[in-house]
Structure 1
């Protein structure tokens, strides 16, 4: 039986950037920039490459709460230090991934890592908000640090590059991250001329973020750096070819068919759950984190 191609819905240019704290200049592709359905991925902030000057006091985002979802931060340039109220801390360097499950409630802060801040240099990151099913929204927070050196990967033929598997699986190789619903998340690091084929169920919401270089999609569409390729829910197979040395973040996930109510850093199913989250935060029930 022939496998049907997953068609491109649109190639989206980066929306105007804004600052998150003083350390993260991001382009919000969704839900703010474009009204596209990427459920279970609720939000994608893309930090295109920028140069930060050297500074003694690290830039970043101070203490803030989350409930009802997961934050996934993927580093391409620069380094970020994380601390949270569950006692977790860590630094992600280029190629690393930080997967924080806020679940029932957590406080955290994110700053440029001290040594990076002292020297400055290029900085490029992506942060995703991954929704949780209702049954897991009030679970115990946790933290997964995934170092690039430990990441599962698949080497493409003919020196085409490699696929780093963060979550889900590719060609039978499973990623390290635990997920609550079916999600595939990869970094495709392609050499010029490198080719790769991906297969996802028709109903999965799928998108490719072009982090570096440029690629040809399905032999018909060209996508340049800093653009997001959104796909229709109509096929399974996507083929890409690198027109230059390229890095592509690949997202595909099964939608969570439940109501979503968002208020700032809370992502729940009902208005009353949002009110409870605000009350719990005000009452100090998200734990304690030192400034």
Structure 2
């Protein structure tokens, strides 16, 4: 029924900002085009939120980032010139393409008052023919995203198509990304029509194939199977997947079908050839390890 179960591991985004990292994983690097998944929180932040929690300007190539918030607020700024507060239920979708930098900071009222924070950030690899597209950014309010609510199952289609609903979020390859809230004993069948599918348990406990799974586990479904998940407590699950794009290399924040392209991106960031975010260009995250060869690992 399941190809693999991945347990989240602790990772540091910066001083004082720890997240649960789900993808990539050594034994399963991607699910469809999804190449990265972090879960931050839930955590209650005291006022005033330390600047150590901010994610300073850093670069990306060859991917799209998807930021989705359950609780809290975050300010996005990028080198294209976009500046956007993201709130619960909204989607920030940034396509890095040939190269972009961005920052993510706590600001204004939320920094002063603190409060609950919980969010997910996913990356999807770009098809090889558009890896060098111009960088873009799109923001979608939660009211723009289709949802359904029936028989103890509430769901919102963040991106792609699932359950007869289509998100307005612009994507570059066949995929689905769904947020669902399940009442105890509610049942949910995974979306059909995709080669690779997975369920991330963000809260509570669910049963699949007679086994119980808990928060922090990614359940990657075996090809050709058609499982149904059953909530054994109130549960929050994220459903994701799509069509695979082939081998990818990843190093730090860079994704590419070419190892040489990642080396170029490293050199570009170290030399200052990737522009810093507009209105946030006074500090940045240095290239880890300097200009040393990366040994970028192939993902497939």
Structure 2 residue 259 is matched with structure 1 residue 271: yes
Structure-1 residue corresponding to 2:46 = 53
Q: Alpha carbons of 1:14 and 1:33: their partners in 2 closer, same or farther (altered >3 Å)?
A: farther
Structure 1 spans left out of the alignment, 5+ residues: 1-6
Q: How much does 1:153 deviate?
A: 0.9
Higher deviation after alignment, 128-137 or 42-51: 42-51
Q: What is the aligned residue count?
A: 278
**TM-score normalised over the length of structure 1:** 0.87
1:287 aligns with 2:278: no
User: Distance in 1 between the 2:65 and 2:273 partners?
Assistant: 20
Q: Tell whether 2:170 aligns with 1:217.
A: no
Alignment equivalent of 1:170, drawn from 156, 162, 170: 162
After superposition, where does 1:64-79 map in structure 2 within 5 Å? Answer: 64-79=58-73
Any stretches of 5+ residues in structure 2 without a counterpart?
A: 283-300
Aligned CA distance change for structure 1 residues 190 and 224 (closer, same or farther; 3 Å): same
In structure 2, the partner of 1:94 is 88
Residue number in structure 2 paired with 1:241: 230
Kept in 1: contact 2:159–2:171 (CA 8 A) = yes
| 3-state SS, counterpart of residue 268 of structure 2 | helix
- Corresponding position of 1:188: 180
Does the 8 A contact of 1:200 with 1:252 survive in 2? no
In structure 2, how many angstroms separate the alpha carbons of the residues matched to 1:151 and 1:216? 28
- SS at 1:199's partner residue? coil
Q: Distance in 2 between matches of 1:134 and 1:13?
A: 29
Alpha-carbon distance change, 170 to 263 in structure 1, aligned in 2, over 3 angstroms: closer
Displacement of 1:239 after TM fit?
A: 1.4
1:54 and 1:165, CA in 2 relative to 1: closer, same or farther beyond 3 A? same
Task: Provide the residue aligned with 1:4 in structure 2.
Answer: none
C-alpha contact 1:23 1:61 (8 A) present in aligned 2:
no
What residue number does 1:19 align with?
Answer: 12
How far is the alpha carbon of 1:224 from its aligned partner? Answer: 1.5
What is the SS of the residue equivalent to 2:245? coil
Match of residue 56 from structure 2: 62
